[in-house]
Structure 1
Amino acid sequence: MTLLAVERIKLLSTRSPWWCALTALLLTGGFTALVVSQSNAQFPATVSATQYAYSFGMAVIMVLATLAVTTEYRFGTIRTTFQAVPNRAAALAAKATVIALVALVIGEIMAFLSWGLATLIQPEADLALNSTADWINVAGVGPACALAAVVAMAVGILVRHSAGAISLVLIYFLAAENLVTLIPGVGADIFKWLPFNVLHKFVTGNGESANGAAYGQPLSTSTLSPWWALAYFAAFAVVLLAISIATARKRDA
């Protein structure tokens, strides 16, 4: 518990998490307001549409997670941490836990804020959370952000430089997976198993929260069920974190 408290103080005593959280909320809220305000009888507002911009907020949260570890390498404070806690695995696991919890909270606020804004903008629309798919589409954003933050932190540990780690995380998340689909013949099959495409399956499911409307989030091509998709991405995050911790234990801080 002491390690968790120390990591919480280190993270929340700096400005970057607060600015990143505010940016994530403004981005998702702003895009949600824009999307939902354009809905009409042909393209009705749905629960799925309220989370149309969650990936923008997730990208910001991943930047936050990357900075949380690369900033320590940049200023050398990671050396102090490892001197105080010789068990590097425990120190980094505590940091990952705190970052994941912060990302979970930001993700949930972000998701329900977007949903709440949509209900205010379109009070006549059917935006009630009446099914499991509806709840996952909204409340599932938090766990998705938490796991994505762990992945981003792991990349930060491996790369150690803020600019390089952030560039790698954002390029992969925003572009690289989609570019795989351009590979002739096998691109679409590979894409089905890429981690963030699978994570998107957990959030969107098979599109049930869109109520059959075309006005909502693009669906994942993964063949897994939503809960298996979450387990798949969680395993990916844990393995990547384990690799990064093992690497950090072997090299100089």
Structure 2
Amino acid sequence: MIGLIRAELTKFRSVRGWLIGCGIAAVLMVLLAVVAAAGTDARVGGPGARGALPRASDGTPVLDGFTFLQQPLDGDGTLTVRVPSLTGVALRPPTPGDSVPDEQEQATPEPWAKAGLIIKAGTTSGSAYTAVMVTGSHGVRMQHDFIHDLAGPTDARWLRLVRSGGTVTAYASSDGAAWTTVGSAPLATGAMSAGIFVATPPHQEYEQFLGGTSVIGGGAIATGTFDNLTAAGIGAGGDWNLVSVGADDSPNRPESTSTRNGDTFVLRGGGDIAPVDGGTGPKLEQLLSGGFMALTVLAVLGVLFVTTEFRRGMVRTTFAATPSRVRVLAAKSVVLGAVTFAVGLVASTAALLVGTAIRGSNHYPADALTQVRIVVGTAALIAVATVLALAIGTILRRGAGAVAAVVVLITLPYILSAAAVLPAATADWVLRITPAAAFAVQQTVPEWPQVDQAYTPAFGFFPLPAWGGFAVLCGWTAVALVIAAALLRRRDA
């Protein structure tokens, strides 16, 4: 088998056009990385850019702006409150010449509007926190470190946070007597700020149409009503202080206000505490957008690697030297997969390095493991897709038909789905059942349950996890190879 692999590698190396094709595939990936990096919205370097945003513990860029009525908490303590009301107001975008948006009619709050209790390591944007809250339409939630979200009762209005040492535990109740534990989270010891808060994400509507997507909407204001507020171990009997966390980073955010009538507090303001919506911003995988073009070029080579021998009759010599046709197919698959994996790995690495050098790595938030995964995953995607092309070429024995089949199975579904040509529901299924599902290995932006977003292929989200999508491609390739092997054994050379 080693000798057979060496012979097939020699065949591949002896055709200058195939080597040039490998080079073209690599160059295309790097050139499109340059285009993607240079074409990134220039505003990403301005105020509010991802590179300037605070980060969660895993490096995720986050938003941290809210209306906070607080007192100092130096040690252990307990906060309890009832949230009888949470309402919302949508804001129209500012009219030309007017920097202040107009309020629309009173509306239900945004689904992820929040009003509740929070213990936070100071009032600096990005500092650690643990909170329990009533939301617009997702019931009670406990959230901490921006990226962690736990569901609580759907109908509770009483909330409680208990800090004991380095742990904060959240509770919820529907009557203020029987309490349900929502969850616990670590939070450093030392001086903290604790109190009630309100926040709301902006109102956004996502639209997908033939050839594109759009996001429309505007800001929002949430108003939370609180009563029965008790605080043990917090402050020293002093006044509650209003702080607009993150207001300096969002100059157009609505003003935070607080009013008190007896034991009832009303907080009003905008801002949000959540991971950044990743669907509409720059994404690291955009630097690897040339992967589908490199795949197409190398898939053509995969087809030609076998159909050229059939067309010229050279396959008879190959089968005469090695009667086991399945071994010949296996050797071709090994050689082609190894060569294209190497090309894909070099091209993906170069594209990532060049793209981040042009725009800056801080604009493409992703940890080292994620970067390795998308680079290696892209190389593996290209290699397996090229072997699939080889199998299809073996089945059809005609170069044009095999190339067309590869394009229809892999490239076309990806383009139609990512470019929003297909309806969102159709694109979702296409990227579940076709070999194009493997492009999920390039997704870097997570789907946050606590962030409203159109999680569709047009916004860069795939229906299957990274290696789940890759497994679909492997399944197609395995089936095609089995069929190709069976036909090789039955047909005459």
Query: Normalised by the shorter chain, which TM-score bucket?
Result: 0.7 to 0.9
Answer whether contact 2:438 2:467 (CA < 8 A) is retained.
Answer: no
Superposition map of 1:90-105 within 5 A:
90-105=327-342
Cα distance change, pair 163–112 in 1 and its aligned pair in 2 (3 A):
same
Separation of aligned partners in 1, 2:422 and 2:30: 35
Q: Which has the higher helix share?
A: 1
Answer whether contact 2:307 2:397 (CA < 8 A) is retained.
Answer: yes
Cα distance change, pair 18–84 in 1 and its aligned pair in 2 (3 A):
same
Per-residue CA distance 1:9-29 (angstroms, 9 max, x = gap): 011111122111121122111
**2:43 counterpart residue number:** 41
Percent of aligned pairs with the same residue?
Answer: 25
Answer whether contact 1:129 1:135 (CA < 8 A) is retained.
Answer: no
Separation of aligned partners in 1, 2:422 and 2:287: 32
Of 355, 365, 386, the residue aligned with 1:118 is 355
| Structure 2: gaps of 5 or more residues | 45-279
How far residue 142 of structure 1 moved from its aligned partner, in angstroms, is 0.8
Superposition map of 1:1-253 within 5 A:
1-39=2-40, 40-42=42-44, 46-123=283-360, 125-127=362-364, 130-175=367-412, 187-188=426-427, 190-204=429-443, 207-208=445-446, 219-222=460-463, 224-253=464-493
How far residue 238 of structure 1 moved from its aligned partner, in angstroms, is 1.2
How far residue 239 of structure 1 moved from its aligned partner, in angstroms, is 1.4
Answer whether contact 1:96 1:153 (CA < 8 A) is retained.
Answer: yes
| Structure 1: gaps of 5 or more residues | none
Secondary structure, aligned partner of 1:105: helix
Structure 1, 118-127 or 108-117: larger mean CA deviation: 118-127
How far residue 126 of structure 1 moved from its aligned partner, in angstroms, is 4.2
Answer whether contact 2:37 2:356 (CA < 8 A) is retained.
Answer: no
Separation of aligned partners in 1, 2:289 and 2:353: 14
Cα distance change, pair 218–142 in 1 and its aligned pair in 2 (3 A):
farther
Q: Highest CA radius of gyration, 1 or 2?
A: 2
Answer whether contact 2:285 2:374 (CA < 8 A) is retained.
Answer: yes
Separation of aligned partners in 2, 1:239 and 1:26: 32
Between Structure 1 and Structure 2, how many residues are aligned? 248
Separation of aligned partners in 2, 1:218 and 1:94: 40
Answer whether contact 2:287 2:355 (CA < 8 A) is retained.
Answer: yes
Secondary structure, aligned partner of 1:61: helix
How far residue 218 of structure 1 moved from its aligned partner, in angstroms, is 5.2
Cα distance change, pair 103–241 in 1 and its aligned pair in 2 (3 A):
same
Cα distance change, pair 120–177 in 1 and its aligned pair in 2 (3 A):
closer
TM-score normalised to structure 2 length: 0.46
Per-residue CA distance 1:191-225 (angstroms, 9 max, x = gap): 142233320112326x249xx9x9x9953533x32
How far residue 234 of structure 1 moved from its aligned partner, in angstroms, is 1.3
How far residue 157 of structure 1 moved from its aligned partner, in angstroms, is 0.3
Give the root-mean-square deviation of aligned CA atoms.
3.1
Separation of aligned partners in 1, 2:315 and 2:354: 40
Structure 1, 103-112 or 45-54: larger mean CA deviation: 45-54
TM-score normalised to structure 1 length: 0.85
Separation of aligned partners in 2, 1:208 and 1:172: 26
Separation of aligned partners in 1, 2:459 and 2:314: 42
Larger relative contact order (Cα-Cα within 8 Å, sequence gap ≥ 6): 1
How far residue 240 of structure 1 moved from its aligned partner, in angstroms, is 0.9
